[in-house]
Amino acid sequence: IFENKGAAMGCSNPHPHGQIWTTTSLPEEPAIELEQFKKYHREQGGCHMLEDYAKLEIEKAERVVYQNGGFVALCPWWATWPFETLIIARQHKRALTDLLFEEKEQLAEIMAEVTRRYDNLFETQFPYSMGLHQAPLEGSGLEIECSYFHIHFYPPLLRSATVRKFLVGYEMMAEPQRDITPEQAAERLRSSGGVLYRKKMEEQL
């Protein structure tokens, strides 16, 4: 399940919409994640990697953008994109179908907080690719149990509404480079909360 927002991310339809793709095998990125989840689960006595990681980030607080009772949004230390964020369930949830009604409301709240802060950061319709990773529709009992619901946001903007990051040259041929630290990105996003900038502009007219 994913959404592309903005022409910079190849979105041809301006209205909000997402896509659901179903494949006969697990795609590469979630498959790599799941292998690491299984390894951690096995080596750490049944613990879940992202649950433990969320606890550590909440304790440190420096990379946390926003949190509520069910989820935390943060700028992960391994991020490639300048304002990349990750939404993680604070307790083990395998998929959307595991969420209680209250948790669905908490998920909606934190997604709105992240996207509003994106828009407020450079006062623009902030482009991004967003994707949900969750348990596969078909898999072994271990694969389903070790899956952990989380959401990736990959936004390209770097310094302003018109300056974006490009993964080219060294970053394409060798490894990605950070333009700002995840701590700096999280601080700027934390400071971009509040009323959506467009509503403020409307009120001033």
pLDDT surpassing 80 at residue 83:
yes
Segment 97-133, tens digit of pLDDT: 999 999 999 999 999 999 999 999 999 999 899 999 9
| Catalytic status, residue 17 | yes
Segment 151-165, tens digit of pLDDT: 999 998 898 988 888
Which has the higher per-residue pLDDT, 106 or 22? 106
What's the predicted TM-score (pTM) here? 0.92
DSSP string, 70-108: SEEEE--TT--STT-EEEEESS---SGGG--HHHHHHHH
Terminal CA-CA length for the chain = 38
Average pLDDT over residues 40-61: 98
Residue of 17, 133, 150, 152 marked active site? 17
Q: What is the pLDDT of residue 29?
A: 94
Q: What is the pLDDT of residue 180?
A: 93
